Amino acid sequence: MNHSYSVDPGDPDAPYLSFWRERHLCTLTTLRPDGTPHLVPVGVTYDPGARLARVITNKESAKVRHVLAAGPEGAAVAVCQVDGRRWATLEGRAVVRTEREHVEEAERRYAERYGRQPSPNPSRVAIEITLTRAMGRG
């Protein structure tokens, strides 16, 4: 039996990609300044062609503070979703994007995946995760 759950984040197989297109609540794990994990529920979109995952959030959130505290090289983070025996984790370096075009792209992808337009929020930013690793079973 194959117990390797490694996936190429830029070229996932069809079941894995399909799983990331279904509507699922996800989690985002960031690290606090003391190194302890901070895990919160979020909506995540996955763009394997760009090797990016995106999360929209308020610029005042703890997750944004954690990413910013890591410095310009970005923060090591993971996003995950689970549905019964199916699970998927994406890992990478996160940065906070405040540029309108990046936030609008993240909002567009969120609306596409979750079937609803996010409510207007002038404090919204996008966390963009440049993917370095993926694993799971779609």
Compute CA distances 102 → 22, 28, 29, whole Å: 22, 19, 21
Banded pLDDT at 138 (limits 50, 70, 90): confident
Condensed to tens digits (0 to 9), the pLDDT of residues 85-95 reads 999 999 999 99
Return d(Cα 43, Cα 24) in angstroms, integer: 8
pLDDT surpassing 90 at residue 102? yes
- Which residue type sits at 8? D
pLDDT digits (tens, 9 = 90+) for 19-66: 999 999 999 999 999 999 999 999 999 999 999 999 999 999 999 999
How much is the pTM? Answer: 0.95
Cα 45 from chain centroid?
A: 6
Mean pLDDT of 104-119: 97
Q: What per-residue confidence (pLDDT) applies to 4?
A: 73
3-state secondary structure 60-102: CCHHHHHHHHCCCCCEEEEEEEEECCEEEEEEEEEEEECCHHH
